Amino acid sequence: MTMIRFEDVSVRYEGAAGPTIRGVDLAVPEGELVLLVGPSGVGKSTLLGTVSGLVPHFTGGTLRGRVTVAGRDTRTHKPRELADVVGTVGQDPLAHFVTDTVEDELAYGMESLGLAPDVMRRRVEETLDLLGLADLRDRPITTLSGGQQQRVAIGSVLTPHPRVLVLDEPTSALDPAAAEEVLAVLQRLVHDLGTTVLMAEHRLERVVQYADQVLLLAAPGEPPLLGDPAEVMAVSPVYPPVVDLGRLAGVTPLPLTVRDARRRTGGLRERLAGVVPGEAAPEGGRSPEAPGGGRPGAPKPPPAEAVAAATGHASRWRRIGRKGRGGGAEVAASNAVKPTGAAPVGAPAARVGGLAVLRGRVEALRRVDFDVSAGETVALMGRNGAGKSTLLSTLVGLLAPASGTVRVGGAVPHRTAPRELIRHVGLVPQEPRDLLYADTVAAECAAADGDADAAPGTCRALVAELLPGIADDTHPRDLSEGQRLALALAIVLAARPPLLLLDEPTRGLDYAAKARLVTILRGLAAEDHAIVLATHDVELAAELAHRVVILAEGEVVADGPTADVVVASPSFAPQVTKILAPQRWLTVTQVRQALRAAEEEGEAP
């Protein structure tokens, strides 16, 4: 039975040049989990909104065609009249909550629908068990962790027993373990209750294996493609590392799970058996730069400007004095290998010893020892609430240590005047928008130059490099998530801080934007910037970091070279590592270049 039917649907917002989505004509059968994929800005959220009726009833704009959900036409039914068949959870669970405790929140939707008290009581108990929330039933929602909040948000729309669940990036803000919790719940709903789930998500490596069908929006205004996940992934501009590796190995149909890939890429493992990834690292201990041609692992058909941008950055950021390189094969191989081998040894950019930080009565950090040297990239990982953001905030002096020492380039952060401090350390916060006050990009840049005492035009030049083709009079609010991040990064870099901190930089970025960010950050590391990333994104850490530091409950529980730390951890290992274990590969880029090097070697002798 068809649950959701789109009949030649297009949506156009007021003042937009063209329709945001066009020619959507498809049917979603009951009880399927459909994953909506595509680059940023192709109208994924709009498409999801049409199912719950929020588009156009709430957002404005013109909807042509017809969307029917369980036989109800969304043109004649307002969102509140669809509330009993469609449950919607947006990107930010906190914006979704109406009441203050878990149990009340679960009951809220049923109260609105007027269900009988005994039915409500029974369903709340069932849902508490289904989502594993029973211990939290009386807790105020604001005291829950991100994963718990996301589960409460899903539970709150589940209790009225909707037949369709619409989710917009349900795992983006979550650590890998919490994301798995949420996805396990979704799978259980689909399998046990026959709920139809329509979900948009950027982090495909987490979700694609759960999808029954994938709905691809390849470019703005292009009609979507609905089909079998493996088939759609073969043509999709966005894909997870497992698919990338499958394409590299030439496996058809493409593997979607690590298990599948392990079973079907045995040949690849054999071909790689002779090469040891760590060996290929340059002797000099200096990290190799981004190769001139941009990141080879970037999505296959990246937008033209992305390629141009990446190339531009690479040349701009390229370091000259390469040393300690042997023959051609080794150069190629060293290009291939991301800087995991020997971490560069430079001057210490920050030194933290025996640090403890209190937030209210909570010991957010305890006895933390942490160093980062110039030219080194460190990934801070750990669950939500493990103390990653606290450590970054302490390094920029937003929080004062309760005990222990913090030195950033010789300065004590919380005692240094802000104007002086930005010369030592810069932080791009989780929400880059927090750094932006002005109405235009040009004004923002001028202000940044003033703040940093930099020559006028410094920041604008950085913006032009990081974000080519942005007009001076663009309002920062109109930028996409990735563009805003680049603008904030340019503002921070205007003061040329030797230590650069980024908090959760890839949230809401698609693969192309992420690839651009990786190129930029590699260039910066090659210029002897020390970089610390707090991230949940294991693929990003594998791609960039020399070293991974894992925090748990405010303590450092692991600190070592990326390859050593992530290979040993089931939740922090990137997909490529899992697939090619026991060999120690981290990224597809690494594998691809090693294969190419091996081929050249095969031809050359």
Residues 195, 164: contact at Cβ < 8 Å?
yes
- Shortest Cβ 232–other proteins spacing (Å): 28
If binding is defined by CB under 8 A, does position 129 make contact with other proteins?
no
One character per residue 183-222, x = contact with other proteins (rule: CB under 8 A): ----------------------------------------
Please list every residue from 231 through 290 that binds other proteins, using CB under 8 A: none
Comparing CB distances to other proteins, the nearer of 116 and 304 is 116
Comparing CB distances to other proteins, the nearer of 53 and 302 is 53
- Classify strands 213-216 and 348-359 as parallel, antiparallel or unpaired: unpaired
Please list every residue from 471 through 530 that binds other proteins, using CB under 8 A: 477, 491-492, 495
Quote the CA–CA distance of 40 and 44 in Å, as a whole number. 8
Quote the CA–CA distance of 138 and 126 in Å, as a whole number. 16
Here the tokens at position 245 are: 């590796």
Q: Which residue has the tokens 């499958």?
A: 246
Please list every residue from 58 through 77 that binds other proteins, using CB under 8 A: 58
Helix axes 441-452, 481-493, angle to 10 degrees: 30
Q: Report which of 198, 109, 89 is spatially closest to residue 161, judged by C-alpha positions.
A: 109
DSSP state for residue 411 in the 8-state scheme: B
Cβ atoms within 10 Å, residue 308: 14
- Shortest Cβ 115–other proteins spacing (Å): 6
Comparing CB distances to other proteins, the nearer of 231 and 564 is 564
- Classify strands 377-381 and 530-534 as parallel, antiparallel or unpaired: parallel
Comparing CB distances to other proteins, the nearer of 225 and 446 is 446
CA atoms within 13 A on the CB side of 325: 15
Q: Report which of 505, 20, 604, 598 is spatially closest to residue 277, judged by C-alpha positions.
A: 598
Of 82-90, 227-235, 344-352, 587-595, which part binds other proteins (CB under 8 A)?
Answer: 82-90
Comparing CB distances to other proteins, the nearer of 169 and 289 is 169
Alpha helices per DSSP H over 533-587: 538-544, 562-567, 575-580
Residues 541, 562: contact at Cβ < 8 Å?
yes
Please list every residue from 132 through 161 that binds other proteins, using CB under 8 A: 136-140, 142-145, 147-148, 156-157, 160
Q: Report which of 297, 277, 239 is spatially closest to residue 586, judged by C-alpha positions.
A: 277
Number of residues that bind other proteins (CB under 8 A): 99
Which residues have a Cβ under 8 Å from the Cβ of 279 and sit 6 or more positions away?
A: 341
If binding is defined by CB under 8 A, does position 224 make contact with other proteins?
no
One character per residue 38-57, x = contact with other proteins (rule: CB under 8 A): --------------xxx--x
Comparing CB distances to other proteins, the nearer of 452 and 512 is 452
Cis peptide before 56 (omega within 30 of 0): yes
Quote the CA–CA distance of 160 and 115 in Å, as a whole number. 8
Comparing CB distances to other proteins, the nearer of 97 and 239 is 97
Comparing CB distances to other proteins, the nearer of 95 and 604 is 95
Please list every residue from 348 through 377 that binds other proteins, using CB under 8 A: 360-362
Here the tokens at position 467 are: 């974000």
Please list every residue from 428 through 457 that binds other proteins, using CB under 8 A: 429, 433-437, 447-448, 451-452
- Shortest Cβ 314–other proteins spacing (Å): 28
Comparing CB distances to other proteins, the nearer of 83 and 281 is 83
Comparing CB distances to other proteins, the nearer of 1 and 94 is 94
Please list every residue from 378 through 397 that binds other proteins, using CB under 8 A: 382-383, 385, 393, 396-397
Among 60, 117, 194, 328, binds other proteins (CB under 8 A): 117
- Shortest Cβ 578–other proteins spacing (Å): 14
3-state secondary structure 62-114: EEEEEEEECCEECCCCCHHHHCCCEEEECCCHHHHCCCCEHHHHHHHHHHHHC
What is the phi/psi pair of residue 537, to 5°?
-85, 100
Among 124, 152, 182, 200, binds other proteins (CB under 8 A): 124
- Shortest Cβ 429–other proteins spacing (Å): 6
Residues 120, 73: contact at Cβ < 8 Å?
no
- Shortest Cβ 65–other proteins spacing (Å): 21
- Shortest Cβ 479–other proteins spacing (Å): 15
Q: Which residue has the tokens 């704009």?
A: 61
Please list every residue from 532 through 591 that binds other proteins, using CB under 8 A: 550, 552-553, 555-560, 564-565, 568-571
Comparing CB distances to other proteins, the nearer of 305 and 439 is 439
One character per residue 18-37, x = contact with other proteins (rule: CB under 8 A): --------------------
DSSP state for residue 190 in the 8-state scheme: I
Residues 356, 562: contact at Cβ < 8 Å?
no
Among 62, 112, 252, 315, binds other proteins (CB under 8 A): 112
Distance of CA 358 to the CA centre of its chain: 28
If binding is defined by CB under 8 A, does position 418 make contact with other proteins?
yes
- Shortest Cβ 333–other proteins spacing (Å): 27
Please list every residue from 87 through 106 that binds other proteins, using CB under 8 A: 88, 90, 92, 95-100, 103-104
Which residues have a Cβ under 8 Å from the Cβ of 411 and sit 6 or more positions away?
A: 420, 421, 424
Comparing CB distances to other proteins, the nearer of 95 and 320 is 95
Quote the CA–CA distance of 409 and 396 in Å, as a whole number. 11
Which amino acid does the sequence have at 43? G
Among 32, 113, 348, 446, binds other proteins (CB under 8 A): 113
Residues 503, 392: contact at Cβ < 8 Å?
yes
- Shortest Cβ 372–other proteins spacing (Å): 17
